[in-house]
Amino acid sequence: MKVLILEDEKPIRDLLCVNLKRAGFEVTEASTGEEALILAGEQKNFDIAILDLLLPGLSGFEVCTMLRRQFPRLGIIMLTAKSQEIDKVMGLESGADDYVVKPFSPVELVARVRSLYRRMYPGEASAQGNHITLPPFTLMLDEQKLLKNGQEIPLTPTEFEIAKLLLGQPNRAMNRDDILTAVWGQYFMGDLKIVDVNISRIRHKIGQEPSGPQYLETVWGFGYVWRG
């Protein structure tokens, strides 16, 4: 697994690098947003990017948006300040799959990187050339693609896992806690807002409008359901 780290504070960057390398990952460092974008454009084969938010020059939000536009299937984890709740939402809306709050445990960070990687590259049991069809959508499990009327809708790894979870059980309302556990893992320490933001991103991408068909519905006070 190849990981790109964007962090302007050298002690934190060194901590990230040491622990990720110790866990067996190949790591590339960047101290500015501009440098990170150049490295991503040159190498084009990173699996996951870990982005600090508050940076000189280009912010982590801007870098996240640009990386997501250029590499739709790149896994992105944001590093956020504990006191800045709005940063989490803005990071997720920029296209991040997950976030880790500073100060963080290196063990937790490595676990979150591995969890995201598993979502990106599921085991053979869920990738045997199968597909899920719920017109007008087709979810291609082997190719990790969502199609609407035959046209591909680019999803992040996390968005794909949520779509797979809900499309695979159409008309069944799923609790937000259950979605969080199924997609992010049993030991995820974040809050339910990460589910809501990803659902909002999926709705936007599938072209769901208030006046049109409500494929992905909110079950108020409970969770979400994908209607057949």
Q: What is the pLDDT of residue 14?
A: 94
Q: What is the pLDDT of residue 118?
A: 80
CATH topology classification for 126-226: Arc Repressor Mutant, subunit A (1.10.10)
Exposure on the CB side of residue 132, measured as CA atoms within 13 A: 20
CATH topology classification for 2-120: Rossmann fold (3.40.50)
Residue carrying structure tokens 């719920």: 134
Q: Kind of pairing, strands 145-148 and 174-175?
A: unpaired
| Calpha distance 97→75 (Å, rounded) | 6
Q: Residue 6: in which H helix or E strand, if any? A: strand 2-6
Does the global pTM surpass 0.75? no
| Calpha distance 44→34 (Å, rounded) | 15
Q: What is the chain's pLDDT, residue by residue, as a tens digit (228 residues)?
A: 899 999 999 999 999 999 999 988 999 999 999 999 999 999 889 999 999 988 888 999 999 999 999 998 899 999 987 666 777 788 888 889 998 888 888 888 898 898 888 877 764 333 334 888 888 999 998 888 999 998 999 999 899 999 999 998 888 899 999 999 999 887 777 778 899 999 999 999 999 887 777 899 999 889 999 987
Q: What is the pLDDT of residue 125?
A: 33
* Contact (CB, 8 A) for 208 and 215: yes
| Calpha distance 91→84 (Å, rounded) | 11
* Contact (CB, 8 A) for 169 and 179: no
Which residues face 80 on adjacent strands? 101
Domains 2-120 and 126-226 alike in fold: no
Tokens linked to 22? 């110790």
Domain ranges of the chain: 2-120, 126-226
